[in-house]
A and B are shown apart, each in its own frame.
Chain A
Amino acid sequence: MRVSYLLKRIGLFFLVLWGAATLNFIIPRLSSADPIRERLSAMAVQSGYVQTGVEDMVRAYQQKFGLDQPLYMQYFRYLRDIFTFNFGYSLSLYPAKVLDLILNALPWTIGLLTVSTLIAFTLGTLFGALMAWPKAPKLVKSLASPFLTLSAIPHYLLGLILLYIFAFTLKKLPLYGGYPAGMVPNLSLSFIGTILQHSILPACSIVFVEMGFWALGMRSMMVTTEGEDYMLFAEARGLRSNFIFRNYALRNAMLPQYTSLALSIGRVVSGSLIVEIIFTYPGIGSLLYTAIKGSDYFVIYGVVFMVILTLGLATLVLDLVYPLLDPRIRYHQGA
């Protein structure tokens, strides 16, 4: 891997972050909505507080957050804050810091997504490869239409159906949450057991949909690979079918799957945010949902930035690993 490629890719990563931060800064300022005034007025109405004091409080807060300074100063201040992860305080859970709320929720989402994406990717790729392999059993080939249907349905719709069948009707799995209400999160075996139990349904609703997606992609790549000359040559050499499948077809057809992995993460995350809401899973999606409901703008912006940061990191890692997997790219870069 060349240093220039590495630098370029890392530069791109920071470009994405800067873009996300700037977007986060500009868009809210384009609208006339004033989160602080909105929030304070709402609180004043709720508690029957006299409106006159609100204006003073708004001014005090604006000074505190530097909103009375010129725009470019606000912008630099904002960039400095965001790159030091200082997202301010939650408006509805006041003393709580936005960063703490996010750090509590993030592991749940990352855990759920990593595990289910890996399972879906592995199973989907395998099924897809088998669906296009002439010597595979008929049963596997007939999976094409179910996979197509599954990949077409949004994650959360499948999630609702699974929730209804397995949790509500059959009562086999928990209805909501990431762990039982009374338990305090710890690292004991029994707690991990309940986490797994609570994660089965959310994970399944992601796995089934994504599996269909990977299987379809892999199948069409396999078909292309099977037409290659080296496949014919391998057969002519009398290599065993299993060997050709594993070392010739699978390995070559899989490469584009890795590239789509980086591109698919955005889609999976968008879907899983809503899956979390349906299962009241204590991750980023649920945090976002409560924040939107409570007009807690600082939490919304914080979550958005952290999601973009995490995904940027994930795609960066994938992009750096990819040349190691595909020698053609390595040579091309070195030439």
Chain B
Amino acid sequence: MGTIAVTPSAESVQMRGVGMERARTFRAYLRRNPTLIIGFILLLALIGIGVIGPFFVDTAQAQPATVPPDQHPSRAYPIGTDDQGRNLLAVVVVGLPLTMRMGFIAGTVGVGIGIILGFTAGYLGGIVDNVIRTTADILLTVPGLVVLIIIASTIKGSITVEQMALVVASLAWMWPTRTIRAQVLSLRERAYVQMAKMSGMKTPEIIFAELMPNLLPYLAASFVGSVGSAILASVGLEALGLGPQNAPTMGMTIYWFLSFNALIRGLWWWWITPIVLLALIFISLTLISVGLDEIANPRVRRAAR
């Protein structure tokens, strides 16, 4: 797989040039890495629901007591209504983006902290490294959900989607910190970093100009991973009843159908909707991160064959 696909004669490429050539290699690469594309398409489709949906569905019906309760899927309510009189289609249109935004915010904050701590620990070493690494390791062995439960139960009820994201983010930084630190440790000794150091570049400059670009695939992969685990954690908290009571997120939908025993009462359309959508979110994120992993870590390719 070392060589790039057959290049057309040099003259014909000349002007329209490098861009097209790159696009072609890029496409050839994507064909080899279909996991990434399928994941992206799936994710875009899910985002699309929240973007296009409001044009077709009355989003006010995502609130309780706006439509008749417990309706089977029909023409008026394509995926039915719940026990408290929400139109489930409206719930999806409003709630799915909320859930994804929550994961996105928490993932961004988590990776942001992870980048800062990971680079600090990996680059400075010594006591700083020891403290950061030990703290991250200790927190990793503690079940995150349990700690989040204490935090969330003290601000129970009045919590907003954004606060929820920040609560989840408070425990979303350990994995990024660990992986980034490990990568920085191995990059730090490379010749070009030593070269930069000798030529008098300052530490922040080295980090941003020399280290960061080489870590991009890793950063992307750990971002996707963090978003996934943030969504997982937030849905878990919501299912326990610690979520934003007034927001129709996917996790709150789970909480409501659990409280109202939708499963045993045979209201299948109510519980199947959030489950399928959440499963699709997680599958798309996993596919993307596997795909990114293949870019970052070519050794995986052998396993994929």
Contacts and interface: CB of A to CB of B under 8 A. Distances in A.
Interface of A: 12, 15-16, 19-20, 23-24, 27-28, 30-31, 33, 132, 148-149, 151-154, 156-157, 160-161, 163-164, 168, 175-176, 219-220, 223-224, 227, 262-263, 265-267, 269-271, 273-274, 277-278, 288-289, 292-293, 295, 297, 300-301, 303-304, 307-308, 311-312, 315
A30 B154 contact: yes
Given A28-B154, A223-B303, A308-B142, A148 B290 contact: yes
Interface in B67-91: none
B263 A163 contact: yes
Contacts of B134: 12
A20 B266 CA distance: 41
A270 B236 contact: yes
A160 B142 CA distance: 26
A109 B151 CA distance: 23
A308 B155 CA distance: 21
Contact of A223 (B144, B236, B299): B299
15 contacts: A23-B147, A28-B150, A28-B154, A148-B290, A149-B286, A152-B285, A157-B279, A270-B236, A274-B236, A288-B240, A292-B240, A292-B242, A304-B146, A308-B143, A311-B142
Contacts of B258: 277-278
Contacts, number: 133
B286 A151 contact: yes
Contact of B268 (A149, A154, A164): A164
Nearest to B281: A152
B235 interface: yes
Contacts of B147: 23, 304
Interface residues of B, number: 44
B165 to A, nearest CB: 18
By secondary structure, the B interface counts as helix
Interface string B134-164: 1000101111111101110111100000000
A266 B239 contact: no
B146 A220 contact: no
A27 B150 contact: yes
By secondary structure, the A interface counts as helix
A271 to B, nearest CB: 8
Contacts of A262: 141
B146 A270 contact: yes
A301 B150 contact: yes
B283 interface: yes
A161 B271 CA distance: 10
B131 to A, nearest CB: 12
B16 interface: no
B44 interface: no
B141 A265 contact: yes
Interface in B268-295: 268, 271, 275, 278-279, 282-283, 285-287, 290
B103 interface: no
Given A277-B240, A292-B240, A23 B141 contact: no
A164 B154 CA distance: 34
A307 B147 CA distance: 10
Contacts of B141: 16, 262-263, 265-266, 311-312, 315
A297 B239 CA distance: 18
Nearest to A164: B263
A27 B290 contact: no
B282 A154 contact: yes
A263 B140 contact: yes
Interface of B: 134, 138, 140-147, 149-151, 153-156, 232-233, 235-236, 239-242, 258, 263-264, 266, 268, 271, 275, 278-279, 282-283, 285-287, 290, 299-300, 302-303
Contacts of B143: 265-267, 269-270, 307-308, 311
A177 B147 CA distance: 26
A302 to B, nearest CB: 11
A152 to B, nearest CB: 4
A152 B154 contact: no
Contacts of B150: 23-24, 27-28, 300-301, 304
A164 B156 CA distance: 31
B179 to A, nearest CB: 13
Given A16-B142, A23-B147, A293-B241, A160 B271 contact: yes
A219 B301 CA distance: 12
A307 B241 contact: no
Contacts of B144: 266, 270
Given A27-B150, A163-B263, A274-B240, 13 more contacts: A31-B154, A33-B156, A148-B286, A156-B236, A164-B263, A219-B303, A266-B141, A269-B143, A270-B145, A274-B239, A277-B240, A292-B241, A292-B242
A241 to B, nearest CB: 19
Contacts of A33: 154-156
Contacts of B268: 164
A152 B286 contact: yes
B224 to A, nearest CB: 12
Given A149-B283, A266-B143, A161 B275 contact: yes
A227 B146 CA distance: 41
Nearest to B268: A164
Nearest to A296: B153
B153 A297 contact: yes
B153 A157 contact: no
A97 to B, nearest CB: 20
A224 B147 CA distance: 36
Contact of B153 (A164, A168, A292): A292
Contacts of A269: 143, 145-146
Contacts of B138: 12, 15-16, 19
A153 B153 contact: no
A258 to B, nearest CB: 14
